[in-house]
Amino acid sequence: MIFDTHAHYDDEQFDIDREELIASFKEAGIGNVTNIGANLAGSQRSMDLAHKYDFFYAAVGVHPSDTEELNEENIKALYEWSRDEKCVAIGEIGLDYHWPDPTPEVQKKWFVRQLQIARKVKLPVIIHSREAAADTLQIMHDEHAEDIGGVVHCFSYSKEVAKQCVDMGFYIGIGGVLTFKNGRKMVEVVENTPMDRILLETDCPYLAPEPYRGKRNNSTYLPYVVTKMAQIKGISEEEVIRITTENAKRMYRIS
């Protein structure tokens, strides 16, 4: 069964059919899902989903684009949630320089702060990094992220950057972009990253694979990513599913 390690089923795009869609997962070969918080309200919704569905887990954290909502008072909620057995990671956290706001200073401050919380509560991190490779690696080194562990999700950088992340003990999150016609860079990342360091993810509702590119994404489209990965790695689709699911359980420390 496939483990979707990064999804946002709390997104309003799923309001029309969330229950039905989730009810179809088992039959579609989706065994587990981690729902990822992108802000404080989304983190609460992730916890709610993880309590509602036994095969769901939650990550709690604040995405770089939403860090302006944070202060020393409200960030304490992460500690509370982290004590829950269905909470398996701190994330998504990181840096996103695609948009001008919040400033890099604000983003860096809360990335570091949330890494420190993950260290304290002994949970892995889910790192979101876009157009910010150098600063992300710098902070990971400075904060000794190798002791914390986690994944660089929706990986968008070169194979060289992927290697640096893997060398720090991190996993590489791969999703729909792998199937895109202009996805050559991701093919190279998959070619050069050991199979035991790769996680499958949708990042749904975003980044649907071909042939659904541009549509609303969901976990039942992951087999398209599996097929492409199996071709690149020269192994069977069953092997891709088995290994990536083992990787996900190892990273999220789910037995």
Binding site for Zn ion (CB under 5 A): 203
Identify residue 242 by its one-letter amino acid code: R
For 181-185, the CB contacts below 8 A with 24+ separation are: 181/210, 185/156, 185/158, 185/159
Judged by beta carbon, residue 69 or residue 238, the one nearer Zn ion is: 69
Q: How far is the CB of 121 from Zn ion (least distance, A)?
A: 20
With CB atoms as reference, the residue minimizing the distance to Zn ion is 203
DSSP for 153-221?
Answer: -S--S-HHHHHHHHHTT-EEEE-GGGGSTT-HHHHHHHHHS-GGGEEE---BTS-PPTTSTTS---GGG
Q: How far is the CB of 197 from Zn ion (least distance, A)?
A: 19
Q: How far is the CB of 174 from Zn ion (least distance, A)?
A: 13
Q: How far is the CB of 3 from Zn ion (least distance, A)?
A: 16
Judged by beta carbon, residue 10 or residue 137, the one nearer Zn ion is: 10
Angle at 86 between CA 82 and CA 89, to 5 degrees: 50
Judged by beta carbon, residue 96 or residue 203, the one nearer Zn ion is: 203
Q: Residue 178 is encoded by which pair of tokens?
A: 């792998």
- Distance in angstroms (rounded) separating the CA atoms of residues 253 and 247: 10
Judged by beta carbon, residue 27 or residue 132, the one nearer Zn ion is: 132
Q: How far is the CB of 27 from Zn ion (least distance, A)?
A: 25
Judged by beta carbon, residue 66 or residue 203, the one nearer Zn ion is: 203
